Amino acid sequence: MSTPLTFLSDEEQMFQDSVRQFARDRIRPHVREMDDAAHFRPEILKQFFELGLMSIEIPEEYGGQGGTFFQAVLAVEELAAVDPSAAVIVDVQNTLVVNALLRWATAEQKRQYLPRLAKDTIASYALSEAGSGSDAFALQTRAADTGDSYTLNGRKLWITNAQEAGLFLVFATLDPSAGYKGITCFLVERGAPGFQVGRKEDKLGIRASSTCELIFDSCKVPKQNVLGTPGQGYKVAIETLNEGRIAIGGQMIGLARGALDHAVAYAKQRKQFGQPIGTFQAVQLELADMATELEAARLLVYNAARLREAGKPFLKQAAMAKYYSSLIAETVASRAVEVLGGVGFTKDYPVEKLYRDAKIGRIYEGTSNMQRLTIAKHILG
């Protein structure tokens, strides 16, 4: 149904095709069960590592694939077409945590953590708090210098991958009087004294992806586990989130494509008045609008990813890609439900799940309103 864009290289096309086949063969049979149980199958997580999907940009010397950021976005898109929960697991690992380590970690930190992230360790990115969402740096989690270590106290909320993660990037304020310049990023391992993963959220969508609170009660973190330098946490967060938004755009266009494909397939086989509903002009116009909006969103996402990969300014384009793709994902998924009619409203068909999954795209990694403000600031100079 969805024709690959002509400007993918042969290598990128092969990579995209392999991830697409894996998603359809290995993930699709379990999507309904995982959504109902709000639990991601461990054997599929293991397969993510075996296929290199959790280490796309990690250099080969650390056991990774030595791939590109654009390939990571392609992987997220292809997984999301089948299950957006699978896509966000891979997204957080690659475009947030691995990217942050590649840019900010010391040589020793890279030697210690990158091989684990490539082999079997899931990672999590812990920034959000109860009072810190769009105001990302209104953090209440505190870090205190206690000699040979730092002591963390506070709570994080809505942390993706938290239930399965073995490594957490945790943002805490070391010096509240310094404002955002007091924020520091810490590498915290599961099992660290004083750290525990708390309650798991019961969510509307992407239910198989775990989202939990984190609790720090006099949690001891060695000084060598600071990522970057003390006070650089805001730069780590901003730079990784700017890139992560492109991958969320990839997740949303994948979701929209999955919904469109289901709608087209149904329109071809569902008959009314003695003919397939896809022969009716009203249905054709709906499908045409969905396909056009999806293609526009895809071009925005791919353009932002290419700009980032080329080392050119991309912040406006990333905001546009994330904003528009999340809008289109919700719209296309909603229209897909309508094309399927009554059965689209049931769990017998995947479109109702995709409709539920789409909502988060306009909320996490920067709400739609925050993206619109970013776009406005750039066009106003």
Active site residues: 365
Minimal CA–CA distance to 252: which of 358, 95, 333, 368?
A: 358
- Write out the two tokens for 75: 């992987």
Residues 150-185 as b or e (16 or more Cβ within 10 Å = b): bbbbbebbbbbbbbbbbbbbbbbbbeeeeebbbbbb
Q: Residue 367: in which H helix or E strand, if any?
A: none
Q: What is the DSSP letter of 144?
A: E
Nearest to 283 by CA among 361, 232, 339: 339
Listed in order, strand segments (DSSP E) in the chain are 123-126, 142-145, 149-160, 167-173, 183-189, 195-200, 211-222, 226-227, 271-272, 275-276
The CA-atom distances, in angstroms, between 264 and each of 254, 261, 339 are 15, 5, 9
**Cβ(169)–Cβ(183) below 8 Å:** no
